[in-house]
Structure 1
């Protein structure tokens, strides 16, 4: 019988299916380089609230006012995921790599790699989506009218490489920058979400379904950008190695950061829809500029101010996501399930190769998109690709917890078991619904990206077999060559 590569008991030469060789804890890193609860919460908020929120009202308006309800449903789903990741971080002995570690712990190397690959793709593709929205506000701040694609690409490069430089300097610098940008963007957004309601006009809201198609079509439009805006709920889980006391703080940071972001999103999106007339809202890439002009008519500083806030917000989000891109590939590479250079670190303990590659890829993606598309088309395309590739890691994390809960290993019973089953089961259905709502074309494109990653896995697994890290499958023996019969001499 062939020995399973994910069964270390049967194969002593194979590594256990846990993430990393040492348990992740503050013992393995300098305490000064760890994120406390406040910084971890700031990372979650900063990763969720990027420039997507500044473009989201325009995209949601294209679906109609029903998109506000969809946004609220997605917010509830995101909160359930936050609870789920907290539970998994407490249960999995070594959660370095977050969603990747959960799947690998429960289902073995292949599942871990699949989740890690999908999540890594969505992180740098998501950075491209963030910077695509960020460029709109830089154009507005600088007063650029109809800039060329190459001009916008040059601006996008600044937005991608400045956070990369900050991350290369170390986690402490990244954490300080993240906390500052969270405050600088959260307060003005909350101002719009509260004070803006005094300037709302009911006539500005569009139809309940403004998509021009079925209600299902409208839900699909709204669900994609709404989920994209909540991607980042797992930020603390993905960077667990950098979080102080992750068993406690990962779950707390995920839940607090997601809850605050959810309240802000619903308040702000609905307010902007009531501040800007629907026909104008669906055509703009910078809806908050129009909203501030409504609140402060004739004030030249107002649109410049909100544009500056959006620029700061985008840099903060890109700063956090650059860390997540790096930590994702580093964790996988340390387990020899990704090319080894991604685990190389500098004297600051930063996986510098992962930062560089994770910034080059969205830079090239933006070059391609700016030479083939323009406006909200770029943002919407990148959002859709990101949503599908992140739904798979969410789904795998949910079924990892579900598998534990229905096994003999579970340590919860009664009401607690019913609660945890509800969280895991709803998270499974939520992830499946998001994939379904994304549409056939996007799922098809994401499938091609996933299949490409499986080709890489074939080579990585063969290498691990040669190194004796996993057992080689036992194939049927080759049939021995039959001896050539010798004919007897007729004489």
Structure 2
């Protein structure tokens, strides 16, 4: 594909360079979501229900998982900084899709959109499964049928909120973020006073090599950072996206990093390792341990329920927004670009929620260890767009016509390389089974790409037959 001198497809608009700020903003003021709502969207999508169950999943690997979380946090901050730079340069909907397309061309852009779309609806299923565990703290519905129906309700109620319009999504994100954040901070801070060193257990509880345990624990921990790219997907709905996309990404990740590390250390130190590995509601169990039972555990379970609904609401938005951006560019079926009168991409919302519903049914009726499998597959499909986004930033720094220089160039290169290496590590940590299934699911996207291009009458380069000699019929 022919490319311009700045590495863009012909005709693509040149976005502002990093640091251009408001002067280079595209469509400043057009969006309906301000910086508080954008930060809330990032925090709300990152802090879903995963953090409420993750300490139990990580406990099986030992306290090496705390080191894994710290390393993953560094990688997530590097990614947020990369997204901030890319968002300033390309302040358009689509996030990782738009960045890969801008740097590498049409098909890599499509593949990133496809991978992220897989992540969004697969990840929503994992959130719904954890949500059911905490809802069952009150309901006690143990049958797979009842739990499936409960999970489906948790998926389709946020879908209705999304169908009602973008402004309602922003309000819902702010409200649910506030409601869930205060009690999580309470556990992260107050819980540190109840930590007992004997509860932490062994450094490596797997019986194998500690590096393998570190990598797998890191891959599981990455899932709770899914959402760092949230505002990049809906950049055109953010006020002054060239400025606020980067700020919201970095602020959101820093807030979540502090809370994640403190709360994980607190939970590990409050509940003995053996008991923690079997806990279905570790935060509620920690509150009960701290205060001897009573209503505390119920309050924390209620917060997890609110958190889950908020996260599903935000991810349902992203399930529709990414393919809509690709459909507008002719790389996804046109149906995904359809919007309702309220501005909701209704087709993407309905299709994404339906696919998530199938994964939920599979979790309860089709497999064992469903939650962990869904988590690792979701991690694999998450990392692919992250890796390409870091590569796009590195590509621009090395080949861009408007180069940065001096200390700023060194810093941006270091951040991009850190994010790139982080992507390699997380792909390895997802494991062979998740990588195999995830890659097969990505390959399914290629026939979709071919079909979409054919529907548009775009069949790629063709050979041109030589012209017949002068004076002779062709």
CA distance in 2, matches of 1:152, 1:143: 10
- The question of 1:199 aligning with 2:187 is answered no
The 1:369/1:17 distance shift into structure 2, 3 A limit, reads: farther
* TM superposition shift of 1:24: 5.6
Contact 1:97 1:332 in 2 (8 A): yes
- The question of 1:403 aligning with 2:405 is answered no
CA distance in 1, matches of 2:400, 2:220: 39
The normalised TM-score by structure 2 is: 0.92
* TM superposition shift of 1:221: 2.7
CA distance in 2, matches of 1:253, 1:66: 30
1:71 alignment counterpart: 69
Secondary structure of 1:354's partner?
Answer: helix
CA distance in 1, matches of 2:62, 2:14: 44
1:255 alignment counterpart: 250
CA distance in 2, matches of 1:358, 1:18: 30
* TM superposition shift of 1:344: 0.4
- The question of 1:184 aligning with 2:179 is answered yes
The 1:16/1:450 distance shift into structure 2, 3 A limit, reads: farther
1:214 alignment counterpart: 209
2:446 alignment counterpart: 454
* TM superposition shift of 1:471: 7.0
* TM superposition shift of 1:216: 2.6
Q: Deviations over 1:328-348 (max 9, x none)?
A: 111011111101111100111
CA distance in 2, matches of 1:232, 1:312: 17
Q: Deviations over 1:250-285 (max 9, x none)?
A: 000000010000000000011011111111110122
Unaligned runs of at least 5 residues, structure 1 = 481-491
CA distance in 1, matches of 2:150, 2:12: 43
2:471 alignment counterpart: none
CA distance in 1, matches of 2:284, 2:163: 33
Contact 1:19 1:105 in 2 (8 A): no
2:20 alignment counterpart: none
Q: Deviations over 1:376-408 (max 9, x none)?
A: x22211110111111111111111111111115
CA distance in 1, matches of 2:460, 2:269: 63
* TM superposition shift of 1:8: 7.8
Kindly report which structure 2 residues correspond to 1:408-427, keeping only aligned pairs within 5 A, or say none.
Answer: 408-427=400-419
The 1:24/1:471 distance shift into structure 2, 3 A limit, reads: farther
Contact 1:166 1:319 in 2 (8 A): yes
CA distance in 2, matches of 1:74, 1:349: 36
- The question of 1:163 aligning with 2:141 is answered no
- The question of 1:380 aligning with 2:380 is answered no
CA distance in 2, matches of 1:161, 1:26: 33
CA distance in 1, matches of 2:146, 2:81: 42
Secondary structure of 1:406's partner?
Answer: helix
Q: Deviations over 1:336-384 (max 9, x none)?
A: 110111110011111011111110001011111210235xx22211110
Q: CA RMSD in A?
A: 2.1
1:134 alignment counterpart: 131
CA distance in 2, matches of 1:458, 1:471: 8
1:485 alignment counterpart: none
* TM superposition shift of 1:158: 1.0
* TM superposition shift of 1:7: 4.2
CA distance in 2, matches of 1:160, 1:220: 31
Contact 1:60 1:221 in 2 (8 A): no
2:19 alignment counterpart: none
CA distance in 1, matches of 2:460, 2:124: 38
Secondary structure of 2:399's partner?
Answer: coil
1:473 alignment counterpart: 461
CA distance in 2, matches of 1:26, 1:336: 25
Q: Deviations over 1:401-444 (max 9, x none)?
A: 11111115133111111111111111111101110111111111
1:292 alignment counterpart: 287
Secondary structure of 2:339's partner?
Answer: coil
The 1:414/1:167 distance shift into structure 2, 3 A limit, reads: same
The 1:102/1:276 distance shift into structure 2, 3 A limit, reads: same
Secondary structure of 1:230's partner?
Answer: coil
Q: Deviations over 1:134-161 (max 9, x none)?
A: 11001112234xx111111101011101
CA distance in 1, matches of 2:14, 2:237: 15
Larger mean Cα displacement after TM superposition, 256-265 or 210-219 = 210-219
The 1:310/1:136 distance shift into structure 2, 3 A limit, reads: same
* TM superposition shift of 1:224: 1.5
Q: Deviations over 1:41-65 (max 9, x none)?
A: 0000001001000001001111111
CA distance in 1, matches of 2:204, 2:4: 54
CA distance in 2, matches of 1:471, 1:359: 32
Q: What is the aligned counterpart of 1:25 among 21, 24, 27?
A: 27
